[in-house]
Structure 1
Amino acid sequence: MEVRHKHNQFAPLYNGMFSHPVWAARADRAQSITGLLLGLFIIVHLHFESSIMLGKQAFYTVVQFLEGGIFSESGHGFPILTQVFSVFMLLIVMLHALFALRRFPTQIKQWFKLREQMNVIPHQDTKIWFWQMLTGFILFFLVPVHLFTLIATPDIGPHLSAERVYHDNAWLLYLVLLPAVVIHAMFGLYRVVIKWGIFSNRVGLLKLAKVMVVYLIALGIASLVTYLVIGHGLALPVVPYSGV
């Protein structure tokens, strides 16, 4: 009870607003909704990115479709849509982080107490919550970097994306971002589904979450390696891919 009391008082930013039962319930719903949107987006996003493994043309086709190429006479998409969507996702991430910070331990003693509890009572969901906090802390710094890059330079394609990954060394960012975002998203979806009683088979759902973590990380690494191979073969300055 002592840790909970300190936790509820940790942030002057909130000014006690979320301590009211009504606002606390609304914050819980908002955190779950934004987390659900972000988790589902990660699944879709990594599959779209994996189209690079089918070839440059396949990835180019996917990008043009997502950027509204079907509404263009030339068939080329509108990069501004990438900027707009990136801004929207950044706002969702900020909202999710705002509501999630209510439950984040802010004192080193609280971290020690949590670790002590995990050692004494090795409950599976407590471990998941710990990994949620750890990956959430990492994503708090890395996700804005990724989104700001897309907002500043929205041009996407097999050559330009490979240039970022290989020549601009963005693979270093993605090597940390990928496992952190997948673990956070999949276990986050698990917790949302259990929390709101959408699915009652906790054991089966947890197994599915773990399988998805391994699958999505493997998928992301394979895509990243493909970008590295393409980038290695590109001469500078890089000429954007324009289709077959």
Structure 2
Amino acid sequence: MLTKYRIGEGWLGYPQSHRWSAIVDVLQSGSGLILGLFLLAHLHFESSILLGKAAFYRVANVLEGGWFTSSGHGSSLLTQTFSVFMLLVVMVHAATALRRFPAQRRQWQALRNHNLLINHQDTRLWFWQMVTGFLMFFLVPMHLVTMITNPEIGPHLSAARVWHDNYWLVYILLLPAVVIHAMLGLYRLALKWGVNFHRDGLRLLAKILIGYLLVLGLCSLTAYLLIGSGLTTPVTPFIP
């Protein structure tokens, strides 16, 4: 004979679990939104090098708070502070997103079989977002720690970092990973939070942005490589 026991939901922790899950979900979405919007701005700021050294020099001074000084020259402390803040945002986003990663071999097999058997575009996009997120787990902190320990930026200093310090090897991997992950993430956020329910149109927009940002980023990286290859060490900061 079976005896039924009634256990209250409060004791089981269901309300607390649901509340915590909702908080984590908001943290993941909020941090992802900050990172995605930052990437859009960052790549466009970096692309000012395509307009010439003087253009990038002016942009760098503005971003470093040059408007607060009488000389118009910014401070690298602002770059360090913002890099620390972005690193914290990345850590929050990674910690809250890891719960969605397949943790066991059978989960990976189920995901692979699902992709093979069901022709579902959003599932494939989620898979690539997960793969690029895994790559970013290593590459993004490397980039941000570099900006914290060596925050000097400018046409010559940034180009020297790319060419002489061989950071192009990091950026050539980081660029496609972060662009694909961020744009697919913004696409999923727009659907999830009801910003726009036109799935096909949003998906097309995400793909267009991915292509555009990849071309923009590669052109900027090429410009830094060309400038850096013409510099001799020790590198003299650019002054217009």
- Shorter chain as denominator, the TM-score bin is over 0.9
Spell out structure 1 runs of 4+ moving beyond 2 A. 16-19
Task: Kindly report the root-mean-square deviation, in angstroms, between the aligned alpha carbons of the 2 structures.
Answer: 1.4
Q: How many residues align?
A: 228
Aligned to 1:115: 112
Number of the residue aligned with 1:223: 220
How far did residue 109 of structure 1 move?
2.1
- Counterpart position of 1:158: 155
What CA distance in whole angstroms lies between the structure 1 residues aligned with 2:153 and 2:160?
10
1:104/1:133 contact within 8 Å kept: yes
Unaligned runs of 5+ in 2: 1-12
2:74 to 72, 77, 85: 77
Write the letter of the residue equivalent to 1:118.
N
Counterparts of 2:174 and 2:105, CA distance in 1: 25
Q: How does 1:47-66 map to 2 (within 5 A)?
A: 47-66=44-63
Aligned partner of 1:134 in structure 2 is 131
Query: Among the aligned pairs, what percent are the same residue?
Result: 60
Moved more, 215-224 or 19-28: 19-28
For residue 180 of structure 2, what is the amino acid of its counterpart? Answer: I
TM-score by length of 1: 0.91
Letter in 2 for 1:165: V
Please say which structure displays the higher CA radius of gyration.
2
2:236 to 236, 239, 244: 239
Scaled by the length of structure 2, the TM-score of the pair is 0.93
Q: 2:29 aligns with which of 17, 28, 32?
A: 32
Match of 1:209 in 2: 206
User: In the alignment, is the contact (CA less than 8 A) between 1:18 and 1:27 conserved in 2?
Assistant: no
- State the partner residue of 1:11: none
Contact 1:18 1:24 survives alignment (8 Å): no
Shift of 1:106: 1.2
Equivalence map 1:80-119=2 (5 Å): 80-119=77-116
Q: Distance in 1 between matches of 2:225 and 2:204?
A: 32
